[in-house]
Amino acid sequence: MDLISLILCALFVVLIIPAIISTVYHQYVLRRKLKNIPQCGGFPIGVELINLTEYERLQLYRQRMLHFKEGIFVDWIGMKPFIHLYKPELLETILPSTVNIKKGEVYKFLQPWLGKGLVTSTGKQWFHDRKLIEPTFHFSILNQFAIVMSEKAEILTKCLEREMAKNPEKAINILPFLNNVALDIICETAMGVDIHAQEIETKYTTTIHRATKLVIERLYRPWQWPEWLYDLLPSGKEYKLGVNRLHKFTREVISKKRIARQSRNGSTKSKNEDDELDIGKQKRIAFLDLLLDQNEKDEAPLTDDELIAQVNTFMFAGHDTIAIAITCTLFLLGNNFDHQEKVHEELEEVFKDSETPASVKELSQLKYLDRIIKEALRLYPSAPIISRKLVKDVKLGDYTLPIGVTLYIHFSLIHTNPQVWSDPKKFDPDRFLPENSKHRHPYAYIPFSAGPRNCIGQRFALLEEKTILTAILRKWRVKSVKTTDAIQYGAIIVLQPCEDIFIYLTPKK
């Protein structure tokens, strides 16, 4: 044996063998700790998860929910255990925790895009940023955003009218219209920029959809997890290109906003001129303005990269999810005409013959529409699943979950768990009548999550949903082309239908 071979053998013995022994021992200890939890998936890779479509994967988890009635099971991707939870009682320790707030692996793959914004950050940074951003979602500010929502909803109805004029008998693929109106709203409310997404074609939405799909594909392919390797793969290069596109747009807007603010601060307008400008007209303030105002007062202000991360986060979280939620609500109403008729009766009672856009006060009177939206979010939660990586051991009932494991909390499974809800597939808005909600477990219905990491923009989302649904339903009755059983959908970070959702719009008489 020559010297080089001898050195290589020595390195193998000294470095490789101990690493293998350490890995095997770690796996043994980990599996011993998890042995009492129902197990799924093979070793070392759960191949069935890799090859399934998003819809098939969701159905597989649904089957496991029905099989493992304990509300918990483990599957393995590579040598990593992923613990799935779908029983409200098992969330009582996790969701209220201020310690176990670290997000799981999939959020790490979002960081090149969203940086360390509210969705992806953890620890002290998350607490600081949440406290900084919270005032920008005060109800008085939401009232200002409501004006933008109403204006964009009016544009939406005109776009739908133009589409119907082409062929009144043809059903409309509704989601692209709702994606565009949601993008218009979030751009103007978040960044103070009108991009006319409903009139001018934009690639922003398609870029976001492709980026989220690439992230989920990566999660189920362990060989793509190392950053250096992913960057070399075609999917990694495509993801990076899409992220660069999204970042370029955000940077340009922030730059323009800063220049405008400097110009405004340097102006010498008198107080009387300011007063005159404010008479009869509320000043429009975008989320970015509010964030920059808060940032200037803060002892530890956000850097430019951190500002971009927060804006990108709100662009992503405040656009796609809302469009999906409205689409699902219309789809369900188009399959449940008796409930739709009650919505129309309520709209006529509140608005009568008025054709002016709905005010916040009028929207607050639409209690039945409230219940419709809640039931739609139960059946089709826009964010069907979240994940946490434990930084501390947790005891859940009879189970002890060790530090370092990743939890997946399935809102979509909790919301349709027959142990939690009677006749869970039935569309029944009266589930949310006060008397029917009184004794429900607080974590039985959590479309916006719960605890300290709940969705900061949930009031914004509900106001936007209600504004757009009201604008559509005041003009039209809706009928879905397909039934609820005929449509496939999957979890690609946010809920996504696997096909176009076609709806007939019939003018109200």
CATH number of the domain where residue 227 is located:
1.10.630.10
CA 476 and chain centroid, separation: 28
CA distance linking residue 149 with residue 216, whole number of Å:
31
Residue 382, domain member (yes or no): yes
- The predicted structure's pLDDT at residue 269: 47
Question: pLDDT tens track of the chain, all 509 residues?
Answer: 566 766 667 666 666 777 777 777 777 778 888 888 998 855 444 566 777 888 998 999 999 999 999 999 998 877 788 999 999 999 999 999 999 999 988 888 999 999 988 899 998 889 988 888 887 777 777 888 888 999 999 999 999 999 999 888 899 999 999 999 998 998 888 877 777 888 887 778 788 888 988 998 888 888 898 999 999 999 999 999 999 988 887 887 777 777 767 776 665 444 444 433 332 334 566 778 877 777 777 777 777 788 888 888 888 888 889 999 999 999 999 999 999 999 999 999 999 888 899 999 999 999 999 999 999 999 999 999 999 999 999 998 888 999 999 999 999 999 999 999 999 999 999 999 999 999 999 999 999 999 999 999 899 999 999 999 999 999 999 999 999 999 999 877 889 898 999 999 999 87
Q: Is 456 exposed, middle or buried (0-12, 13-18, 19+ CB in 10 A)?
A: buried
Could you report how far apart the first and last alpha carbons of the chain are, in Å? 93
The partner residues of 408 in beta bridges, in order of sequence, read 84, 387
Let me know: does 10 contact 57? Beta carbons within 8 Å.
no
Residue 329, domain member (yes or no): yes
CA distance linking residue 267 with residue 263, whole number of Å:
6
Residue 365, domain member (yes or no): yes
Domain count of the fold of the chain: 1
Q: Any residues with CB less than 8 A from the CB of 499 and at least 6 apart, and which?
A: 487, 488
Please give the residue range of the domain that contains residue 238.
Answer: 37-264+280-507
Residue 9, domain member (yes or no): no
CA distance linking residue 422 with residue 425, whole number of Å:
9
Let me know: does 106 contact 77? Beta carbons within 8 Å.
no
CA distance linking residue 38 with residue 66, whole number of Å:
13
Which residue from 338, 328, 238, 254 is spatially nearest to 291, judged by alpha carbons?
254
Residue 16, domain member (yes or no): no
Let me know: does 419 contact 440? Beta carbons within 8 Å.
no
Residue 2, domain member (yes or no): no
Would you call 394 helix, strand, or coil by DSSP? Answer: strand
Residue 26, domain member (yes or no): no
Structure tokens at 259: 């220049």
Q: Any residues with CB less than 8 A from the CB of 199 and at least 6 apart, and which?
A: 155, 159
Residue 4, domain member (yes or no): no
Let me know: does 369 contact 469? Beta carbons within 8 Å.
yes
pTM of the model: 0.89
Query: Was 455 annotated as part of a binding site?
Result: yes
- The predicted structure's pLDDT at residue 135: 79
